Every structure is written in C-alpha cells, then in structure tokens.
Structure 1
Amino acid sequence: MTHTLLIGVPSFADDDPHVSIGKHDTAIDINAKFTLDPVTGVPSTNMGPNGAAEDPNQYMADVHCRSGGSDTPDRGCLTLDCPPKTPGGEQGTPVIWRQAPKYITNPVWTDYPAVSGPTCLYDAKPEDVLANIAARILNDFRQLPVNPGTLEVQPFPNTLKGGPTNFYATPGQQTFDLTILGQAVHLTATPANYTYAYGDGTKLGPTPLAGYPIPQTQWLTTETRNSHTYTQTGNYPATLTTSFTGTYSVNNGPPLPINGTLDLTTPPKTIHVWKTEKALVADTCEQNPTSWGCPKADR
C-alpha cells in the first residue's frame, strides 16, 4: 500500500504536548505539536517572542511519485535515481513536494512552486525521518556558527556626557547546509530583534530596529531611535544581543519555521564617557601649543 506523508507545521497545545501520528486510509499525518527547549525543557508555541506569524500552509512529501497513478503524473519520478549514500545503505524515495492551506480539512493539494520536480528522501520510512528532524531541528539550529555581527557606536571610543550616542547593529541573514539523519537540510538564520545594553544599567529592546550610521558631522547633535544619552562620566561596557529566527528545508522541500530563537550576544565594547569644560583663552593652539585645551597643554 502506498502512503502519502503529510507534514504539519509544528504547533503547540498545552493539553497535548507530544508528537501524534494518526494513520488513515490514504495518509499518515504527522503533527509535531511541540518543540522542546533543550535548556529549559519547556515546549515553545507557534508564535515566537519576535511576534512572527506562523506559516499558513501545510506541506506534503508525496510518495505516490513512483506509483504511476493518475493522481500524480510522472515528471521524472520513474526515472529519478536515488542511490544509497553509503555502501549498503538504503535507497532514497522519490517524492514531490505539495502544499495546501493549513486549516482546510481534506484540502486540494498543489505543487510547491519553489521545487519544480521530484527530490529524494533517504529513509526506509520517510515519515519517520521527517518527524525526527522536526523534533531536533531547534537544537541543531542553536548549534550553528551564526555570526552575531558587531555593535557599532558613534562616536567611539569616546563620547560626551549629556550628548546623544548612536548605536546600530550589523548582523545579516545567514544560510547553512547540513546533513541531518542522512538528509540534506538547508537552514536560514534571520536577525529579527535586537537588545542594546548600554553598560550603565539601561537597555533598549527587544526591538526590530537595527539602526543605521549617521554622518560624523551629526554625531553630537542628532538623536536616532537607537541613541542613548549617558548622564555620568565613566567607562561603560556596551553589548548587543541579536535574536535570530530560522527556517529549514529538507531535500529542497518547502521552508518550514523553527519554533524558537537563537540569541547571540557580542563581546563588550567599552565606551569612554567624558564631560566638557569651557574656558576663555587668548591664543589658538597654533599660536600657543601649550595653551589650555591644546594637545600639548600641561594638564
């Protein structure tokens, strides 16, 4: 009997924190009801802390690909070769990815537009390997060598007490290709929120604002939405924490959201806050290099 594999986008229900597999006449439904945080053990919901909306679609890896039935016209399924990846290993299963609105019962499935033909899944039971990848993907996501970017400060390293200091972030979207349980998995990490810790006990965020650089002529006069004003002189270790969201696709399948975030903090960047002083002087520094306020003054 040929089965069709339905992959539900992971969701969480408080009263049902488990992975349920229900067999039907024509399909095996796999709904990953949760993703466990490997640190806290707490299941996460579809709506992450960044407020990103869940994927409105559900996806199907159609293993009717080689059945020759009228419901799945052959587009290379019968000729696609999925040889074992290791000596003595299992051959792959040709599948065609399809999609449909998530909340429609018995939907009409359409081809997933980003994948034009069949691809290979490597497992004796494709439904098992996909469910197992879904169960571990958050932990794999958090092990990626994602670059947290840098915290940029204007002016730096010295700024003035009582004046605006501009902060902005530089991280960008990053992609990774891994092999998980014998499958080719493509992961994408996208910066979603930023938390600026200014080093004096105050913070901004989480905020979606990455900020932006401003011309040097505006450093001491322009206040941006990420600016901070230090009220006391001193040395302050400022940091940036970036919260990355992620998606993953298996063997060129549709990108599925990862329930959870990867939070990375930059090394501290020390900011020296100075105060200004005013005085009347008779000469310029060119006329008298040792005059008050000049670089060669004895202070």
Structure 2
Amino acid sequence: MKEVFVYSYAPACASETDSPVVSTCAALNSRCSAEPGGQMVVWERQDTRKKGAPWERLEQACLYPGKPPERPGDVVIAVTEKQLRELPIKGPKLGSQPGRHTLKGAETNIYAEPSDQSFSITIVGKKVAIRVTPSEYRWSYGDGTSLVTAVPGGPLPESRWGEKTVTSHVYAATGDVNVGLTTVFTGEFSVDGGPYQAIAGNAPVPSMPKALSVWRSEVKLYADDCTANPAGQGCS
C-alpha cells in the first residue's frame, strides 16, 4: 500500500524548540548521549493526499553517525484495556453512618473514599506514565438491591445522620449484610513526558466488603409517672 506521508528531518537546534530551557545546540544535543556524536533532530511529515499540504512537525529524535534516526510513527505506543486492568489499582474504602450497626427502616449513609492513582510502566523501551480516575460506582447493599452512581457520596455530620443521600439505603429487614462496591476506573497515558491520551476501555475494581448489622428499633409506652415514682418501669 502506498504510504500517504513523506517524512523529513533537520537538526533541532536550527529550528525553534519546544522548551525555552534549551538555549544552545550543545545543550540540546547532550540529550543524545547513548553513542558518541549524537545529534538531536526534528521530524516533519507531509500528507501527500493533499496538494500543497503544510509540513507537520512531529517529535524530536536522536541521530547517531552511520545510523538513521527512528522515525516517529514507526512504533505506535498505546496502553490497552488489558494493560489498564492489570495495574494494581486499589478499590476505595467503604464507610457507613451511623456505623457498624444501623436501624431497619432508617437511611443508612454508605459512601466510598476514592483517590486518583498513578503508575509507571515501560513499553518498547519508552517510559509510560498512567493515571487513573474513578468514573462510576456500582453499589450492592447486601439485601438484593443495587445502585449505580457517578459520585462516591461522603460522610455527614452526626447532627444529620438519618438524612437521605445519593448513596444511602434503607434496609427493610433486620440481619447481617455485606455491602459491596465495584468502582470503574478510566485512565490516561503519557509517553516519555508527552501529552496525556485517553486509554480505550476501563477497569472495574472491587472494594473490600463492609459488614453491617441491621437492628430493629422498639418504642414502649409506660403508665408510671417517673416524677411520682422514679423507680417505676421505664424510668431508669
């Protein structure tokens, strides 16, 4: 198949550089130290399908005597969904209010404590930085009900315990339950300090389940007047 681009390169110190820190050719070429005589060059390409198309500046590369520089585009580096899911991403910790014990028929505030995470891997000799961010929360309340939210929720001050929140749940029966959460992470990657690019796909990561005991509240009526009979039933 005929190639649609033509490529060219020129010494990087003869053109504008991307970094104002590099002010001399010597400083720029010192980056190419893998072999003697290294020189930094800049690749450009032109789309042959478009008449008079401008030259598009690509990236810098090192040129060594007797060896052609590696042309940008020969190796396309990308992070796959499989690689994303193999990262040691940690699921967020679960919290609950009023705590380990809650009441049947009352709002139990369940929330997650997520964080952005960063990793570094190497692909074909290139350093690849990866950062992941939570994008979706899939809740399982342990009583057969579930919920999907875009936010992790959060703790409430004690004076507001029992209020409905976006991630709270009302248990209809007493008993012990295990609350589960799967957080879906999306990611971006950067090759050798370049711009970040989105990773296609996502990584679902389960959290450690949280055990809750759902209790029944009781209200009892008493006939004793505690003022007249402080020792009466219900007055202690």
TM-score by length of 2: 0.73
Distance in 1 (CA, whole Å) between partners of 2:135 and 2:39 is 36
Distance change >3 Å, CA 247–CA 119, structure 1 → 2: farther
5+ unaligned residues in a row in structure 2: which ranges?
A: 45-52, 63-68
Shift of residue 118, structure 1, vs aligned partner? 5.4
5+ unaligned residues in a row in structure 1: which ranges?
A: 1-20, 28-62, 98-105, 112-116, 295-299
Over residues 124-154 of structure 1, what are the superposed CA-to-partner deviations in whole Å (9 max), with x where a residue is unaligned?
A: 454243x2x32x5322221211121111111
- 1:153 paired to 2:96: yes
1:79 to 29, 32, 36: 29
Distance in 1 (CA, whole Å) between partners of 2:177 and 2:105 is 14
The SS at the match of 1:211 is coil
The SS at the match of 1:140 is helix
1:275 to 216, 219, 234: 216
For residue 66 of structure 2, what is the aligned residue in structure 1? none
Q: 1:119–1:251: 8 Å Cα contact kept in structure 2?
A: no
2:176 to 225, 232, 235: 235
| Structure possessing the higher radius of gyration over alpha carbons | 2
Over residues 18-48 of structure 1, what are the superposed CA-to-partner deviations in whole Å (9 max), with x where a residue is unaligned?
A: xxx9722425xxxxxxxxxxxxxxxxxxxxx
Shift of residue 94, structure 1, vs aligned partner? 5.8
The SS at the match of 2:73 is helix
For residue 73 of structure 2, what is the aligned residue in structure 1? 127
TM-score by length of 1: 0.59
Distance in 2 (CA, whole Å) between partners of 1:224 and 1:216 is 14
The 5-angstrom pairing of residues 1-299 of structure 1 reads: 23-27=3-7, 64=9, 66=11, 72-74=15-17, 76=22, 79-84=29-34, 124=70, 126-129=72-75, 131=76, 133-134=77-78, 136-205=79-148, 207-220=149-162, 222-280=163-221
Q: How many residue pairs are counted as aligned between the two chains?
A: 209
1:243 partner letter: V
For residue 43 of structure 1, what is the aligned residue in structure 2? none
Distance change >3 Å, CA 191–CA 79, structure 1 → 2: same
Distance change >3 Å, CA 178–CA 145, structure 1 → 2: same
Q: 1:82–1:94: 8 Å Cα contact kept in structure 2?
A: no
The SS at the match of 1:139 is helix
Over residues 158-210 of structure 1, what are the superposed CA-to-partner deviations in whole Å (9 max), with x where a residue is unaligned?
A: 100100011111111111122222111110001111111101111110x2111
Q: Which has the higher strand share?
A: 2
What is the RMSD computed on CA atoms of the aligned residues? 3.7
Higher relative contact order (CA 8 A, sep 6+): 2
Distance change >3 Å, CA 128–CA 26, structure 1 → 2: closer
Shift of residue 67, structure 1, vs aligned partner? 6.1
